[in-house]
Amino acid sequence: MITKDMTRDLIGRQAVDSHGEKVGKIGQVYLDENDGTPTWATVNTGLFGTKESFVPLRNADLRDSGVELPVEKQQVKDCPHVGRSDERLTGSEEDELYRHYGTAATGTAGTAGTAGDGRHAAGTAEAGRAGAGDGRSAGMSGDSAGMSGDDAMVRHEERLRVGTESEETGRVALRKYVVTEDETVTVPVSREEVRLEREPITDGAAAGSSGAIGEEEHEVTLHRERPVVDKTTEAVEKVRLGTRTVTEDETVSDTVRKERIDVDDPSENLER
């Protein structure tokens, strides 16, 4: 349970949800003006902590791992954008937060319709821890809220800090598989044919010689070529996957809060 004595220890601590998942760091703590009990806090969420969301401190606990919240991280991300003033939450704003987190306003702060009128910011990490639990807003000195030691009021603005982070968008894989196709190749082949050649004998000696008359046989062996098919496996190419970086311009937008300073001078004492 978070008590008012723990208020100054909350600011800047890591907040975790009911499952132990990190949510963000505590930026401001809002107290019940009736008894000073911490009731709400803001945590810095979003990219680089550029968004502030309200979380309930009722039933929360301060542990070594951080501030353990009784809600889930997604609930914090979906929290309605309220609390445009750094000093207090209005009753309607607090009602909206109670409805979002599914809780009801009870205890010394009064009913849900009026409890927000008695709550105010206890401090911020930027303003320091001093005076975080004394029942006044952070940055207040004496009776002049927001005044510094030289009686000057400091005006703040939120700035967008935009960066990039890498995320996986998909995977591409190379797969090798076997297909069968017909291939036709023309191969020249040769073969031997027999032809009859006759040559007259003109040599006198050969013509005058006498030969024996009888049977005789002469044989010629014929040859031909035939196609012979064989297969070999050869490496023909290398295929690999490569990546290249393409830079594009993408526009991002978010809501930022700015403080405005008005002069309350009903007697018109200020020289204009």
Sign of CA dihedral 11, 12, 14, 15: positive
Q: Does domain 4-124 have CATH number 3.90.1200.10?
A: no
User: Mean pLDDT of all residues in the chain?
Assistant: 77
pLDDT at 201: 83
Mean pLDDT over 68-97 rounds to 81
- Give the pair of three-digit tokens for residue 230: 């064989």
Mean pLDDT over 150-156 rounds to 78
pLDDT at 204: 61
Q: What is the pTM of this model?
A: 0.40
CA–CA distance, 144 with 153 (Å, rounded to integer): 9
| Structure-model confidence comparison of residues 222 and 11, the more confident one | 222
CA–CA distance, 28 with 122 (Å, rounded to integer): 7
* Per-domain boundaries in the chain: 4-124
Q: pLDDT digits over 226-272, tens only?
A: 999 999 999 999 999 999 988 998 888 888 888 888 888 787 777 76
Amino acid at 147: M
Mean pLDDT over 163-189 rounds to 90
Q: pLDDT class for 182, splitting at 50, 70, 90?
A: very high
Q: pLDDT digits over 10-42, tens only?
A: 888 899 988 888 888 888 888 887 888 888 889
